Structure 1
């Protein structure tokens, strides 16, 4: 028997805990129908599931004998899932999950099995965000990520970001090699290959590469628990815990011999992985910077570089934070010489200000190889240069504004500095402005931050994926602020790394379109 046992309210029915509601439309796969005709094989008033839609657009069910029954010309009522037919919906451009409803919004030009506006329930999702759905024909059809949007209730909460990126904490659903189920990892690298995620343990140890569908975002509680366990482990007698990733160290023994071939005693190198546990030499510290890519040193073979009186240091304060004792005339990134140390703070002679007070944590030791040659004195700004404002005291422009110098009056406040959009200006002294690097200036000329990509920009693909290859020229169709915007080439959209070719503001075709609109 193929009849369904249901609970029947006025217009709603319930099948295995799932609610359906009577709707006034053609039946679709996934609906149920209430048979209202007379037949020897189908019970009048009973409910049946629609299994497929045939080539004549007639729904098919399985009758009481287990055979397929064509409903062509027969009377029946259509019931659809309540979750799919009630409430207001919005289109959300993201990866779909199995069971969610999608709408075709950008049909591929070669696709003829559905049209824009068609809606489906997702059967499965692959590692690229492309989905499988059941078409009206009853056959499974592949829908590309670029073709659909997910339908969400207007009252639903915004979904968490789907795209994983470098720095995200994750767990894996299938282990292999050095990657284990249940362990929290951090994404160290993302590329456009079929196995895009390189994982590291949270202590910096290398783990391995994983495919997208085997990686899931770790919860805040899981990450916090993993960090607590690491902190407990590193407070033991492991001497490697004194080193930090990125720290500069001096090699004091073992240089030139395996596993330190290409690394010389007395030279300075960088710590890549403090707690490297998978080397057959045992517990070692992985270092980089030699004539071969990596070396492995025991902790007693390394000496930490410490800040002392006479050390050359660089001011390194995190973006958005202020110097503990004020900036004075010093700027982040300046280098100077330590003249005294008192507890957790020091006095430093910088070129712009002597006896500057700093916390030791605000300073980074500069090795001999990193020391720069003395710089020439300040060069007067020129009209047409792009600079950044250093103060907002008695000024109309905010501190940190990117501006263009349009006039030099050579008086007490000679430089007329104009915002990039031309909306405001003010006058500044030489020491109230700083030059920006060439890359910043290049982007400032088009009114953007470095690397800012906007919708409808013309770009070159620098890291291809699937049908889109490196070197392809395309148009940005989804500028979400990430390093992998959505670019469409030959009607196909993929999220890949790109290089700006022509900003949308400089496209002749867009200029003509805007001019036509303005004249209308």
Structure 2
């Protein structure tokens, strides 16, 4: 006769064979974990559990469960693989033309099952709107009630507005809202505008520096590097530049300022200027005098025994402007 104390404090008394039979009955009566295929990606949500059911690979383990942890910049849901790398569920689900994931249960129940109202942050799961400026997966704030549709919503990332019915929206989680509100740029960042700003004040493709933002409309103020103008841009209109691009831009501005101090544009040479030649190996570093500026981008240099040579302005460095030469005073 055996006496076994359970984890919940209850006890069992009987033979070992009776205990084995009782365990089999309990196991057969235990509820099984329900799984179902992914019918539409619209039904996924952050926090939902998925099971990888395809054959094991280097990225995922067969029959292991994975959490939907976030959405990417396109609004697609992502999971972390065995190495902690994010993978787009919609892309990996159909890898090798197979259904690799199934849904285990549902997304965590939230207390926000009350009707949607103005001020709520929601995620778009569908849409019958004709304009289609916003897409499934976007996090938006309900701005007001509407006539033809239930709500007018405003996208958190850039303030873009659209009309939606309540059936096409679900409450967003705190994590989803926080990720959408996280600033994409900071004051001091160097960026390249990819489309015209609100006023067209900063050249497209020219580098600028963020001096303020985001404002209540989600826009950032971008100043031209020479301080000549500024404009306002949404995050989607801006591209962050590399450190190398930033260093080159700063050097370009400094170079322009040096030329401006002598009343000239960059590489504006004049006859009589003293320059350093940066050309061939044997003559590199020699001082020469500009005799003539035949055309934009070129200068003629007095080259001693070699007579006069024509050089690109990229091969010379201004040392003394003709206006400052002591021998010409």
TM-score above 0.5:
no
Point out the structure with max Rg over C-alpha: 2
Structure with more strand by fraction:
1
Structure with more helix by fraction:
2
Could you tell me the TM-score, scaled by structure 1's length? 0.21
Could you tell me the TM-score, scaled by structure 2's length? 0.30
